[in-house]
Structure 1
Amino acid sequence: MIRKLPSGRWQVDIQPGGRGQKRVRKSFDSKAEAQRFERWAMSQHDAGSSIPQLKKDKRRFLEVLRTWYLAHGKYLRDGERRYRHLKRIAESFGNPMASKLTANDYLVYRALRIEGGISPKTCNNDLGYLNAVFNELCRTGALSYSNPFAKIRPIKIQEREMGYLDDDQIRIIFAELREKTTNPHALLVARLSLETGARWSEAEGITLSHLKPNLVTYDQTKSGKKRSVPISENLYKTVKKHLEKHGSFGTSTISAFRRAVDRSGIQLPQGQCAHILRHTFASHFVMKGGEILTLQKVLGHSSIVMTMRYAHLAPDHLDQVLQCKPKIQ
């Protein structure tokens, strides 16, 4: 049974197993928390397990994070990196008892991060990671209390302009890559990114097994899903010959590309150097009349919303404004 107490809190009062069994009483700030605990307590009884949360959950923040990592995080593509970052957050909080965490704890942490020069987007990522941990542990019954950060809103961020290179800028940067870059791989990784819209890490990660005549397959993708993109015969033969000789592109090509951009004198939007060739592919694709749904598949976006950021570049975009607006009779 769940009932509201005069204090405004909600009490769970149950006897898992029926009359004569041990009685369980616990109160919560909200009805949803009480219902969650009731379901969890009954499932523990049905599984023949004890109910340790009847005693106060004294696990520290780091211990709760480890529970999440072992049960779920280690199976994520970026699980180890995310776990390391979450541990740094917990240490910044002072590793308190996790059941005593509050929304205000995070808000203070976020304010200090912003004051220290950390971007709002990075802070929103932190919040997303924390919510993912507590939501997953609540979902699986590893916690009897609710996510303390669930009601915090991310910082609203104005959408950044998507930069791209024009034809002259492309020629200048690629001339720098051909003539002055000592890294033997950077030019071809840049070509793959520009000609297929691949993320830099996707292009850098291919091997011979990812190539077929006039086709490249990316499998180290953000979504975890493979995708294949047509390439020119010239690019196919050039990449194939290069990989036959070197085996891979290595892992430091982005630094060589950044230096080439710096030498070119071309100013890019802040934080977009690594993605500028991907944005350039998408922008030119749309400006030349490419279909937005095709672009979504080529870029590997899970949602069309992401791809629609380029829709305003379509050649008929402004014409449609004139054609489709209401007419005065």
Structure 2
Amino acid sequence: MAKAKGLYKRGNTWWISYADPDGKIRRESSHSKQYKEAQALLIVRKKDVQEGKEPIPIKRMGNHSFRELAEPYLVWAERQKSFESKKYLVQKLVKEFGNCPLRRFTTRLIEEFQTSLLSKGRKPATANRYLATIKHMFTKAVEWDMVEEEAAKRVNRVKHLPENNRRLRYLSHEEAEALVNACLPHLRPIVITALNTGMRKGEILSLEWEKHVDLRHGFITLDITKNGERREIPINQTLRQALQGIVRRLDSPYVFVDGEGQRYLDIKRSFHSALKKVGIKDFTFHDLRHTFASQLVMKGVDITTIKELLGHKTLTMTLRYAHLAPGHKVNAVELLDGNVQMKSSAQLVHNPAISS
């Protein structure tokens, strides 16, 4: 069935558009998932226009604030894999824009927010994550009739900042050892897990004993990873000792929990305290993942194996670590030593059979 002009979908809901008596384009939600119901509404509106009647006013949207949008958005986001990180970003945005009406969001307002983040030392990548969250929230606000489409268009005009994805910060063996020793008891096994598996923070804090950790066979299994694939990570002796030292609680399935059996949602404060204690600067928890990969490369582990351990979807993502093995080309050609033996000058005897 061909779709009639003036009918379109936003999400699962059908909308209509038509010109009012003054020639202005009106858009209206049918509040229905049924095409026929939207088609019937469009016929009614066009008839009103033809008869010179003023169409029934489109439902006026309330003057909702950003805080009022955040509440249903977080409820919706609970179904997403990235809920914890999204929740953190939304909560920070509420502190920034809480009572600001959605209709008052402008391109300039968002760009000033970007500038503010950079002036506070935040990375462009961080500013871009905030921007992506704001844009998606406004997309949902339009779907939920909380703001006019024009407000979302203003927000979407803001461009993402260029990112320098070549940053690679990792710890030396001595720095890693000092950091582990500086950690509080609850943080130490978390950091050891990161250094010995290369897992992301969210993956580590979500670990469950029964679901993911197999100490008997020596594997951590992640069924749903960032790239959507299953990943198996061997448990070495250092990590085994750290995990065996954790008192397993019967009232929680999680590996890393606080004194009340609740899993840690973040360990940013204690991690920063440990870094400060040993004087490590310009370092984030995610850099422990870089440290894992970098140390493996420098110990001669091949890039393909590291790719599988990190759960990278493409080899290109892992190749950023390749330059850390300055001797790998030398070692490679040294493998050919002995293939062709050169005779000494004493062994080079004139062959009378070969003459001019």
Instruction: Give the structure-2-normalised TM-score.
Output: 0.60
Pairing of 1:234-273 with structure 2 (within 5 A)? 235-236=239-240, 238-244=241-247, 248-250=255-257, 251=264, 258-265=272-279, 267-268=280-281, 270=282, 272-273=283-284
- 2:130 equivalent among 122, 126, 144: 126
Pairing of 1:13-28 with structure 2 (within 5 A)? 24-25=18-19
CA-atom RMSD, angstroms?
Answer: 4.5
Going from structure 1 to structure 2, the CA distance change for 1:138 and 1:227 (only over 3 Å counts) comes to farther
The structural deviation recorded for 1:233 is 4.8
Going from structure 1 to structure 2, the CA distance change for 1:84 and 1:261 (only over 3 Å counts) comes to closer
| Structure 2 unmatched ranges of 5 or more | 9-15, 43-55, 258-263, 331-356
> Where is the helix percentage greater, Structure 1 or Structure 2?
1
Distance in 1, matches of 2:27 and 2:158, equals 22
SS at match of 2:221: strand
Pairing of 1:3-22 with structure 2 (within 5 A)? none
The structural deviation recorded for 1:145 is 2.3
Going from structure 1 to structure 2, the CA distance change for 1:228 and 1:86 (only over 3 Å counts) comes to same
> Contact 1:189 / 1:249 at 8 angstroms: preserved in 2?
yes
Name the counterpart of 1:152. Answer: 158
SS at match of 1:48: helix
Decide which structure has the larger Cα Rg and report it: 2
AA aligned to 1:294 is T
Name the counterpart of 1:163. Answer: 169
Pairing of 1:33-182 with structure 2 (within 5 A)? 46=35, 48=37, 54-55=58-59, 57-62=61-66, 63-66=68-71, 68-70=73-75, 72-76=76-80, 77-78=83-84, 79-91=86-98, 94-97=100-103, 101-115=105-119, 118-136=122-140, 145=149, 147-148=152-153, 149-159=155-165, 161-174=167-180, 176-177=181-182
1:295 aligns with 2:306: yes
Distance in 2, matches of 1:259 and 1:279, equals 20
Instruction: Give the structure-1-normalised TM-score.
Output: 0.64
> Contact 2:62 / 2:146 at 8 angstroms: preserved in 1?
no
Counting aligned pairs with the same residue, the percent is: 23
Distance in 1, matches of 2:7 and 2:267, equals 63
Q: What is the number of residues matched between the two proteins?
A: 283
